[in-house]
């Protein structure tokens, strides 16, 4: 299973070739910003700053991206399996003024602007665009507010 920064760079390249721009999020972003020690990663979390998932859905449909994990398709998220890892992409809308993710379609999570760290982070010779440290911390402390338990009962997952 991929667990290295060059593997993360490979995924970033795959997304770029599909015309999709994402920021690194979650544990990988925390590691790239030196907010946590390097360690193993069970998945790869990304965010997509856009009004919709149209480009990602198109790339999944045309197989520019690996096969979608349909059980993780929600109004706020898409996911696919890549090299044995789950890659999840979270949508952040209204990026210019009031960045927001609509978890489950009805639970808003407000992000601080700007969403991204001020500059690309260079690690192992690769540039990575990452979510800002304040937004990583905000998401971690407020994760329970977005009702993560709902994935089990979401109508699309029955």
Domain contains 38 = yes
For residue 76, what are the domain limits? Answer: 5-153
Q: What is the pLDDT of residues 2-29, one digit of tens each?
A: 468 888 999 999 999 999 999 999 999 9
User: Residue 123: beta bridge partners?
Assistant: 126
Could you tell me which residues come within 8 angstroms of residue 156 by beta carbon, excluding any fewer than 6 positions away? 73, 74
* Radius of gyration of the chain, Cα coordinates, nearest whole angstrom: 15
Domain contains 158 = no
- Provide the number of structural domains found in the chain: 1
CATH assignment of the domain containing 83: 3.30.460.40
Residue 115 to residue 88: CA distance in whole angstroms: 17
Domain contains 85 = yes
Q: What is the pLDDT of residues 64-114, one digit of tens each?
A: 999 999 999 999 999 999 998 899 999 999 866 789 999 998 899 999 999
Residue 119 to residue 99: CA distance in whole angstroms: 19
Q: What is the pLDDT of residues 27-51, one digit of tens each?
A: 999 999 999 999 888 899 999 999 9
pTM over 0.75: yes
Domain contains 49 = yes
Please answer whether residues 61 and 50 qualify as being in contact, where contact means their C-beta atoms are separated by less than 8 angstroms: no
Write out the two tokens for 16. Answer: 């770029």
Domain contains 147 = yes
């Amino acid at each position: 299973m991929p667990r290295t920064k060059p593997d993360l760079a490979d995924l970033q390249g795959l997304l770029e070739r599909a015309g999709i721009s994402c920021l690194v999020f979650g544990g990988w972003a925390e590691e790239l910003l030196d907010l946590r020690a390097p360690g193993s990663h069970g998945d790869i979390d990304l965010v997509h700053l856009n009004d919709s998932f149209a480009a990602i859905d198109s790339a999944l449909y045309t197989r520019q991206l690996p096969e979608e994990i349909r059980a993780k398709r929600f109004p706020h998220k898409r996911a696919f399996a890549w090299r044995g890892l789950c890659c999840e992409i979270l949508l952040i809308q209204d990026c210019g003024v009031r960045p927001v993710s609509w978890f489950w379609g009805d639970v808003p999570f407000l992000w601080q602007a700007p969403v991204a760290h001020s500059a690309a982070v260079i690690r192992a010779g690769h540039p990575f665009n990452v979510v800002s440290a304040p937004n990583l911390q905000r998401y971690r402390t407020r994760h329970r507010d977005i009702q993560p338990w709902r994935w089990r009962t979401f109508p699309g997952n029955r």
